[in-house]
Structure 1
Amino acid sequence: MENPSLLPLLDARLPLTEEKVAEAARLAGVPLAQAWGVVRYYPRYRGLPQGRLLVDDPVARARDFARLRAGADGSYPPLGLEALSPIYLRFTPEGRFVEWQGRLVSFRDFRLPFNLGRGKHLLPPEPILSLAQYRALGGLQALAALLQGGASPEGVLRAVEEAGLLGRGGAAFPAHVKMRAVARGAAPKYLVVNADESEPGNFKDRFLLEHHPFLVLEGALLAALAVGAERVYLYVREEFEAAQESLQKALGELEEAGLLPVPMEVFRSGGLYICGEETALLESMEGKRAEPRLKPPFPGEKGLWGRPTLVQNVETLANLPLILREGPGTWRAREPKLFSISGDVAHPGLYELPLGTPLGEALRRAGREPSELQAVLLGGAAGVFTRDFAFPLRFKERLPLGAGAIVAFGPAVDLWEVLLGLVHFLKEESCGKCFPCPLGTAVQVEMVGRRERNPALVRDLAETLKGSLCGLGQSASWAYQSLLEVEGAA
């Protein structure tokens, strides 16, 4: 990277003026027009709403949304708080806060309650926020073996392949294939940890970063050494300030202990849902609008600044220390997956379950009999409504698992109101680069608003959206289509 990235330069100059934007453009080595295009694209530069804001997520939509919205000055996109929803924020000139237990807690200090986590492999027995705690759990064994010659980069790649680890960000692409593609590339190479978790209903990555940062960092270092990356970027959703603090502190401890063989840097994301798409993420890091690239070439060939780049999800990388410590066979025998379960269940939270667990069993773990539910939303906005409670929660099945969001809805919930929130979200988050997505998502909002049930019209909408450049548009009609199926089966 010859010049600093534009986004951090703009962040350091908030609130922006014409002079500050010009200075940031000069330091980043980009045209002034490009800098202004970025300023007008990302919400935090345009000016965030102020006052009391209702987090507009699927759970709030199921809780008499109109009444909740009447008590707010505006709304804000889903923020990984579904297990606590409905919940309000306060945006003031002094900062951003979460209304929690009768007080205002700043974004920097607010962490998801630790008791939401239920698991024993990926999830720790207590918040692990110090290097000593992590080592006491057996952490850093895999990294130490690699650094001391007891393991090799090829050994790491082979273990990931033998484990059959699939990406946990939603696409379920074989992790070893992406890693080997980057390993074959010419230096310099990079690793980007995708922590821009913005899918409605998901809070697994946020929980890991806030309560178990060393596990994620060890996984990232193992991957970086395995593929020969010379630098690691932790691309963290910009609102996750407590997660950023946890990572910065953990990085400081690793560096002080001499356990940071590859430089690592926390990069504050662009703050949009589309930033979770790996090529849009790279565009934002390069100081551009977060718009997906045409593929091929894929990031493994031509990624960040045109160099081979491995982009992996937080949970994917968190599995690497476990695979290497336990052995790929032992890991594969239980193949843990994190599921964010919220909505009409007695115990909303983050559940670590073996892949293949029936949906109904996952709901029972969270304290709700499936027969008492109207439906669940599986996979978030890019997911589906279903009543198939025997469905095995596994990748590459009939229904999209996505990143593992499960939102349960009781019999009294107006599912069309929930769907309306999802389609509004997709419309607002469309980057606008390709024609089918902004057109199709806008039409979809109008159709859902009038509760259009004509199957032919919905099929036409779906065909239009299939022509979108990335997954946001391509999956935008899935929830709509599936709700009609659920209604038809009722």
Structure 2
Amino acid sequence: MEQPSLLPLLDERLPLTEEKVAEAARLAGVPLAQAWGVVAYYPRYRGLPQGRLLVDDPVARARGFSRLREEAEGTYPPLGLEALSPVYLRFTEKGRFLEWEGRWVPFREFRLPFALGRGHGLLPPEPAPTLAQYLALGGLGGLRAWKGGLLDPGKVLKAVEEAGLLGRGGAAFPTHVKMRAVAQGQAPKYLVVNADESEPGNFKDRFLLEHHPFLVLEGALLAALAVGASRVYLYVREEFEAAILGLERAIRELEEAGFLFVPTEVFRSGGLYICGEETALLESMEGKRAEPRLKPPFPVERGLWGRPTLVQNVETLANLPLLLREGPEAWRRKEPKLFSISGDVARPGLYELPLGTPLGEALRRAGGEPEALQAVLLGGAAGVFTRDWDLPLAYGGRLPLGAGAIVAFGKDVDLWEVLEGLAHFFQEESCGKCFPCPLGTAVQVGMVRRRERDPSLLQDLAATLRGSLCGLGQSAFWAYRSLLEVEGAA
């Protein structure tokens, strides 16, 4: 990094001792108290659970969670493995492993099966982990055009605006607005790729990073060139070790081929759900606890190290090379979106569908029959339960689309068990900075465990959580409220 950051310095010194923490603090130029605060905050520094662990995701909750839990020594937060759930991990002194096809696969070697991807454009017809494979798929057209003088910042910004590309991380904010704001800022400026995919039910970004790294990198570089960023950081969930290694190899290949026009590096995330919130992400990159900042100012004005910063989701940036190749009008006619579909469907996986596709059709693509389902969880933990099979999967609709997670539940699933997992997830992942969130999420766990259906109590809970500083707390009650609505409509 252009400025020493505490987290990488601590990572280089694992396992930590008092002397190593003091050395990292000195090199990062931060007070020793701040360094110890960081060590106590992030799981990998304070000590990860050991032994056989069950990944606690919505699908596992629907598969007889109590029975599955008996076969493990602990649990671990969702890892984008819902299409394969239930999944067990093993954490030992020798490393972290995933139980897969009768063997323990190191995290650094495990990738989501390529067969889970169903689509074209954003999803490649075959894995493209090398530059030669990406070129064979017609890749690098945007960077070639830039190198040849056929593209410039104005053309890129205009194309993004005409296409109406919305952020794919969940907020659906107009991409061109953020890009233009950073482009108008004073140098130095940065671009940060938000690849801290931690939302239960989502695995689209993980799949792209593992199987289509050059598409993501080309999109990031094009965006960086368009806004005048001096450096690109890929903030990747630290458990995605195979993706991180693949990205680092891809960066080296682009540099050797003469197409790494902006210095680019991978930053291992803090390993918490809150790190996906863009300002908390920036705090962790600066070597602090991942806690949301007050806004304004927004990152486009004062982001990383106080400089204008464009923070964009993986899928958002992966759309740029396609958008520029096809043209804004052609791209907008189909407006592709990735949907992570899992649970009680015959073919769980990642589906590339046009925005506006009805929920029922998306489920049928995955081999799910809506009539045989009790409900789906749309949007992940910060989402809702619904039975509206005609609902268009689009932004700005009646229900939040989020990042595109769809978890289907059959008639026999105990949805309160699923909801309890979500409530526990929110309680565990609250950063504790603002009072409403840790209080509200703790109260919510108790209410869900006793299956409280009193609407006045839920109204009080919602009023408390709405006072939270960021979206984690503000959306924590959505699934609860929606489950009562689904029960009432049954």
TM-score (structure 1 length as normaliser): 1.00
1:234 partner SS: strand
Match of 2:434 in 1: 434
Are the equivalent residues in 2 in contact too, given 1:146–1:153 (CA < 8 A)? no
Aligned residues: 490
**Cα distance between partner residues in 2 of 1:343 and 1:132:** 36
Q: How far did residue 16 of structure 1 move?
A: 0.2
Query: Which letter does structure 1 place at the counterpart of 2:85?
Result: S
CA distance in 2, matches of 1:33, 1:247: 34
Alignment correspondent of 2:289:
289
**Superimposed CA distance per residue, residues 46-92 of structure 1 (whole angstroms, 9 cap, x where no aligned partner):** 00000000000000000000000000000000000000000000000
1:6-405, aligned counterparts within 5 Å? 6-405=6-405
In 2, Cα distance between equivalents of 1:372 and 1:121: 32
Residues 256/2 of structure 1: CA separation in 2 closer, same or farther (3 Å cut): closer
Q: Unaligned 5+ residue runs, structure 2?
A: none
**Distance in 1 between residues matched to 2:136 and 2:368, nearest whole Å:** 36
Matches within 5 A, 1:415-434: 415-434=415-434
The CA RMSD over aligned residues, in Å, is 0.6
Q: In the aligned structure 1, how far is the partner of 2:133 from the partner of 2:429? A: 39
Distance 1:142 1:266 in 2: 22
Counterpart contact for 1:3–1:27, Cα < 8 Å: no
Residue equivalent to 1:450:
450
* Higher alpha-carbon deviation: 224-233 or 132-141: 132-141
Q: Deviations over 1:407-458 (max 9, x none)?
A: 0000000000000000000000000000100000000000000000001100
The superposition leaves residues 72-118 of structure 1 with CA deviations (integer Å, 9 ceiling, x where unpaired) of 00000000000000000000000000000000000000000000000
| Structure 1 residue 2 displacement after superposition | 6.1
Cα deviation, 1:19-72, whole Å, max 9, x if unaligned, reads 000000000000000000000000000000000000000000000000000000
Structure 1, unmatched stretches of 5+, are none
Q: 1:180 to 1:267 in 2, by over 3 A?
A: same
CA contact (8 A) 1:54 1:76 kept: yes
Distance 1:295 1:205 in 2: 26
CA offset at residue 132 of structure 1?
1.1
CA-to-partner distance for each residue in 1:250-283, whole Å, 9 max, x for gaps?
0110011111010000000000000000000000
- Which amino acid is 1:355 matched to? L
Please tell me the residue identity of whatever aligns with 1:284: S
Q: What is the CA distance between 1:485 and its match in structure 2?
A: 0.1
Give CA-to-partner distance per residue, 1:344-400, whole Å, 9 cap, x none: 000000000000000000000000110110000000000000000100000011100
C-alpha distance in 2 between matches for 1:61 and 1:165: 35
Task: Describe the SS at the equivalent of 2:381.
Answer: helix
What letter matches 2:311 in structure 1?
Answer: V
Out of 140-149 and 256-265, give the one that drifted further. Answer: 140-149
Q: Matches of residues 474-489 of structure 1 in structure 2 within 5 Å?
A: 474-489=474-489
Cα distance between partner residues in 2 of 1:140 and 1:388: 41
Q: Which amino acid in structure 2 is aligned with residue 484 of structure 1? A: L
Task: Supply the AA of the counterpart residue of 1:269.
Answer: S
CA contact (8 A) 1:387 1:486 kept: yes
Output the amino acid matched with 1:38: V
Distance in 1 between residues matched to 2:147 and 2:42, nearest whole Å:
40
Structure-1 separation of matches of 2:142 and 2:20? 45
CA distance in 1, matches of 2:152, 2:79: 39
* Aligned-partner residue type, residue 158 of structure 1: K
Q: Equivalents in 2 of 1:220, 1:2: separation in Å?
A: 18
Question: Structure 1 residue 141: deviation in Å?
Answer: 0.8
Matches of 2:37 and 2:297, distance apart in 1: 25
- In structure 1, what residue type is equivalent to 2:338? L
The whole-number CA distance in structure 1 between the counterparts of 2:164 and 2:346 is 34
Deviation at 1:137, TM superposition (A): 1.2
Q: Supply the distance in 2 between the matched residues of 1:147 and 1:403 (Cα, whole angstroms).
A: 33
SS in structure 2 at match of 1:408: strand
CA contact (8 A) 1:118 1:352 kept: yes
Per the TM alignment, residue 474 of structure 1 is displaced from its structure 2 partner at its CA by 0.3
Amino acid at match of 1:399: L
The alpha-carbon deviation at position 187 of structure 1 amounts to 0.1
SS of the residue aligned with 2:275?
Answer: helix
Deviation at 1:3, TM superposition (A): 3.7
Determine helix, strand or coil for the equivalent of 1:374: strand
Distance, in Å, in 2 between the alignment partners of 1:91 and 1:33 is 29
Q: CA deviation at 1:298?
A: 0.2
Q: Provide the secondary structure at the position in 2 that maps to 1:284.
A: helix
CA contact (8 A) 1:58 1:421 kept: yes
Whether the 8 Å contact between 1:193 and 1:220 is mirrored in structure 2 is: yes
Deviations, residues 281-316 of structure 1 (Å, cap 9, x unaligned): 000000000000000000000000000000000000
* Matching residue's letter, 2:8: P
Give the Cα separation in 2 of the matches to 1:96 and 1:193: 25
Alpha-carbon separation, structure 2, partners of 1:151 and 1:272: 38
**CA deviation vs aligned residue, 1:152-195 (integer Å, no higher than 9, x gap):** 11100000000000000000000000000000000000000000
State the one-letter code of the partner of 2:467: G
2: CA distance, partners of 1:396 / 1:2? 38
CA contact 1:213–1:246 (8 Å) conserved in 2: yes
Distance 1:64 1:216 in 2: 37
Question: In structure 2, what is the Cα distance between the partners aligned to 1:113 and 1:138?
Answer: 23
TM-score (norm 2): 1.00
